[in-house]
């Protein structure tokens, strides 16, 4: 998958993310209260952006409930691998209503 697209924006668009600011912020809503976020930043000593991948959950009133960081200070290749793996994992999980 990594060779099919040329830019980070194209990779994340293909994964269903919304591009907030090119090569810097990507967001994917999992529900109306939960979203996946990938944030990039320039760091001294690195030729490329370094990325953090996390999940944010909110209360119905909009207050932040929980933040779970899955990857921090990662290369573009590493964050794409982690996000792709995570999406494959959550898509394979059985629906909670099916198990009841």
Predicted confidence (pLDDT) per residue in 38-95, tens digit: 999 999 999 999 999 999 999 998 888 999 999 999 999 999 999 999 999 988 655 5
pLDDT number for residue 100: 43
Task: Sketch the domain layout of the chain as residue ranges.
Answer: 8-92
CA nearest to 17, candidates 77, 87, 81: 87
Question: What phi, psi does 80 have (nearest 5°)?
Answer: -65, -40
pLDDT confidence bin for 23, thresholds 50/70/90 = confident
**What pLDDT score was predicted for residue 97?**
46
pLDDT for 2-12, tens place per residue?
556 688 999 99
* Cα 33 to Cα 35: distance, rounded to the nearest angstrom: 7
Q: What is the pTM of this model?
A: 0.82
Q: Say whether pLDDT at 98 is over 90.
A: no
């Amino acid at each position: 998958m990594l060779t099919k697209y040329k830019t980070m924006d194209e990779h994340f668009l293909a994964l269903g993310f919304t591009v907030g600011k090119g090569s810097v912020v990507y967001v994917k809503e999992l529900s109306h209260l939960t979203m996946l976020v990938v944030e990039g930043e320039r760091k001294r000593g690195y030729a490329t952006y370094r990325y953090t991948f996390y999940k944010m959950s909110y209360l119905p009133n909009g207050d932040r409930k929980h933040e779970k960081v899955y990857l921090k200070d990662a290369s573009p290749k590493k964050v794409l691998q982690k996000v792709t793996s995570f999406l494959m994992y959550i898509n394979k999980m059985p629906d909670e209503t099916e198990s009841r």
